[in-house]
């Protein structure tokens, strides 16, 4: 994994912006701590920071084609590298190393933009065609790897993170009406392709952009399509297992140490089990990692969204697979303090302590490992959340994980946002309308497709955003095998009665692996990423918010009603539903306000 950035300026040229390249290199260093290189000619500037995972000697970037006319900078991993290499060798291509970067470059030389449809992986890359003065940007199908850009009058600026775009002196940290509505009413989510800052966009997943001196064109190379599911129940079980196992095994390739995150939940347990078996065949022991909080055993509170804690289940899995396990226990003061750097990592307010805890966790893992696997995205694809199973939520005409637009509006000062509920609703309706369906589908089957796409484009996108920024802030690569596009396509077209086998969340996945895991793990009720329940943490964030509300230099008192915030501070556990997702309740709302305050001050946001 790496960090990329750069610009094209057809009028003034790239050399006048050499200082921008140096600043980009500096701000992207956490993503690529192992080295940095740049390419510059009269028109284009390309910046690359490298995190070495595969082919330390042969994978350096920027990488040029044999004739020197095409220059590639790349952030990501290809999981079908060897499949592509075989095809390219048969066509006469010669490789100097074994990196996926070189394979990607030669794939483009052979097939042009048609090569993108052949890729299986997580990636964001830029190709500069010197002969045609053409820049191509491309992003993976699910948007696991980020890629932002800003169109200029005579060119374009791009980068892995928003902070790289802001290195350009002509791009200012301004936030308009839509940006403010996004962070206040949709946050920590944001509309697909929207960078929140004025003039900054994100290349949509499954799309590529072509910049020429005349114009910028953006095109999809992958779209999620409805098709008839013809496999029998037995075939569906077998195919589900085959796809998950193949994706997991492909993503074990690494020239540096690799581990897995293990929560004791179904998804991380499957990946850890498969990795442990593969390592055992090589006479190696898998290392697994988990996260918890000081005194959580004392204060844990059951809820619909979090029915049990993880500790006992982690122990069962460690014993079953024989891993060397590492448990990271976070202190509540550190969790609160990390709210600030987690904003710096994301360039936006995020998922509060769900972000900051992952930031600290990844920093601990990075001390011993560079690559890990994580179980994100199975819930979105296979119906793991309560809103898939409770019909009063399933058919509710709104985002199921963020139904509190009215509550959010009640916290805001009058006039802070205009047409807020309509803004949120339109994004919801647009996503539902984009869900591809088959003629004659039942009301429930049609709604399940809408719910699938809502989760894919919004909830899953937010989690992937979190995973990338919090991990790469410490130079840790996190792979997410359930995001393999083949799994996504198969799950989208799987009938609900098969997906919810035995009426259970992720029932098809449980059934497919029921003979591989301890019974308690297979049939454990879904429990999300752990959060702290400690009153110490609640006290810390409450105290912090009270200071912010008294700070004349803070934007927060100008945006939020003091009486409404004080009422919430008096009873932080009385929120009727989460602010966002399953975990963001009272303490996390305060943490979100802390992150908003940090964002306005750190980035010197101006409202327009």
Which pair of tokens denotes residue 588? 């996390």
Q: Using an 8 Å Cβ cutoff, are 385 and 496 in contact? A: no
CA 144 to CA 141: how far, in whole Å?
8
Q: Using an 8 Å Cβ cutoff, are 73 and 37 in contact? A: no
CA-CA distances (angstroms) from residue 223 to 89, 420, 499? 29, 30, 21
- Nearest one of 257, 250, 328, 339 to 289, comparing CA atoms: 328
Strand 606-607 and strand 174-175: pairing?
parallel
CA 461, chain centre distance (Å): 5
Q: What angle do CA 141, 142, 144 make, to 5 degrees?
A: 115
Q: Using an 8 Å Cβ cutoff, are 77 and 122 in contact? A: yes
Residue 282, number of CB atoms within 10 A of its CB? 8
CA 162 to CA 171: how far, in whole Å?
11
Q: Using an 8 Å Cβ cutoff, are 117 and 222 in contact? A: yes
Q: Using an 8 Å Cβ cutoff, are 475 and 51 in contact? A: yes
How many CA atoms does the CB half-sphere of 558 hold within 13 Å? Answer: 10
- Diameter of the chain by CA atoms? 71
Q: Confirm whether 362 is a catalytic residue.
A: no
How many CA atoms does the CB half-sphere of 342 hold within 13 Å? Answer: 31
CA 597 to CA 427: how far, in whole Å?
26
CA 516 to CA 252: how far, in whole Å?
19
Which pair of tokens denotes residue 414? 């009058």
Which residue among 2, 167, 336, 483 is the active-site one? 2
Residue 50 has φ and ψ, to the nearest 5°, of -110, 135
Q: Using an 8 Å Cβ cutoff, are 404 and 577 in contact? A: yes
Residue listed under structure tokens 């006992």: 312
Residue 407, number of CB atoms within 10 A of its CB? 15
Q: Using an 8 Å Cβ cutoff, are 364 and 474 in contact? A: no
- Nearest one of 561, 556, 547 to 605, comparing CA atoms: 556
Q: Using an 8 Å Cβ cutoff, are 182 and 196 in contact? A: yes
Active site residues: 2
């Amino acid at each position: 994994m790496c960090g990329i950035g750069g610009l094209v300026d057809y009028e003034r040229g790239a050399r006048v912006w050499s200082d921008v390249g140096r600043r980009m290199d500096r701000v992207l260093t956490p993503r690529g701590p192992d080295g940095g290189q740049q390419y510059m000619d009269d028109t284009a500037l390309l910046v690359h920071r490298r995190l070495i995972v595969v082919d330390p000697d042969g994978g350096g970037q920027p990488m040029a084609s044999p004739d020197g006319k095409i220059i590639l900078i790349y952030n990501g991993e290809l999981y079908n590298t060897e499949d592509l290499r075989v095809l390219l060798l048969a066509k006469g291509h010669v490789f100097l190393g074994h990196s996926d970067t070189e394979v990607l470059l030669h794939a483009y030389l052979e097939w042009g933009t048609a090569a993108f449809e052949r890729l299986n992986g997580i990636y964001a890359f830029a190709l500069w065609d010197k002969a045609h003065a053409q820049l191509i940007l491309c992003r993976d199908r699910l948007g696991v790897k980020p890629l932002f850009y800003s169109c200029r009058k005579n060119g374009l600026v791009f980068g892995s993170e928003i902070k790289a775009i802001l290195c350009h002196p002509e791009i200012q940290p301004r936030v308009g009406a839509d940006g403010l509505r996004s962070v206040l009413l949709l946050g920590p989510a944001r509309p697909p392709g929207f960078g929140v800052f004025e003039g900054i966009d994100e290349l949509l997943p499954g799309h590529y952009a072509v910049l020429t001196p005349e114009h910028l064109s953006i095109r999809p190379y992958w779209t999620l399509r409805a098709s008839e599911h013809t496999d029998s129940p037995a075939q569906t079980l077998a195919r589900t297992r085959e796809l998950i196992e193949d994706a997991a095994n492909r993503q074990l390739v690494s020239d540096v140490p690799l581990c897995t995150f293990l929560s004791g939940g179904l998804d991380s347990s499957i990946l850890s089990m498969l990795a442990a078996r593969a390592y055992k065949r090589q006479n190696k022991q898998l290392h697994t990692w988990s996260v918890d909080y000081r005194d959580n055993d004392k204060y844990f509170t059951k809820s619909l969204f979090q029915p049990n804690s993880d500790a006992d289940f982690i122990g069962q899995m460690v014993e079953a697979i024989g891993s060397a396990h590492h448990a990271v226990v976070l202190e509540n003061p550190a969790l609160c303090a990390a709210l600030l750097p987690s904003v710096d990592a994301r360039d936006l307010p995020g998922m509060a302590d769900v972000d900051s805890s992952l930031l600290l966790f990844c920093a601990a893992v990075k001390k011993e490992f560079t690559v890990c696997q994580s179980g994100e995205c199975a819930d979105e694809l296979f119906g793991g959340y309560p809103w898939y199973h409770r019909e009063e939520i399933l058919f509710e005409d709104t985002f199921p994980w963020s139904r509190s637009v009215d509550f959010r509006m009640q916290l805001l000062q009058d006039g802070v946002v205009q047409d807020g509920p309509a803004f949120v609703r339109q994004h919801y309706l647009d996503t539902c309308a984009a869900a591809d369906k088959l003629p004659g589908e039942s009301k429930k089957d049609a709604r399940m497709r809408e719910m699938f796409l809502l989760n894919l484009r919004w909830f899953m996108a937010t989690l992937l955003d979190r995973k990338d920024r919090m991990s790469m802030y410490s130079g840790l690569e996190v792979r997410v095998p359930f995001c393999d596009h083949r799994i996504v396509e198969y799950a989208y077209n799987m009938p609900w009665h098969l997906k919810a086998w035995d009426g259970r969340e992720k029932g098809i996945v449980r059934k497919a692996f029921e003979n591989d895991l301890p019974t308690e793990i297979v049939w454990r009720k879904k429990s999300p990423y752990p959060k702290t329940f400690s009153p110490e943490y609640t006290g810390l964030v409450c105290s912090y918010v009270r200071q912010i509300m008294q700070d004349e230099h803070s934007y927060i008192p100008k945006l939020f009603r003091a009486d409404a915030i004080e009422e919430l501070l008096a009873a932080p556990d009385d929120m009727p539903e989460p602010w966002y997702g399953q975990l963001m309740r009272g303490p996390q709302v305060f943490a979100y306000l802390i992150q908003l305050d940090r964002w306005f001050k750190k980035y010197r946001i101006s409202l327009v």
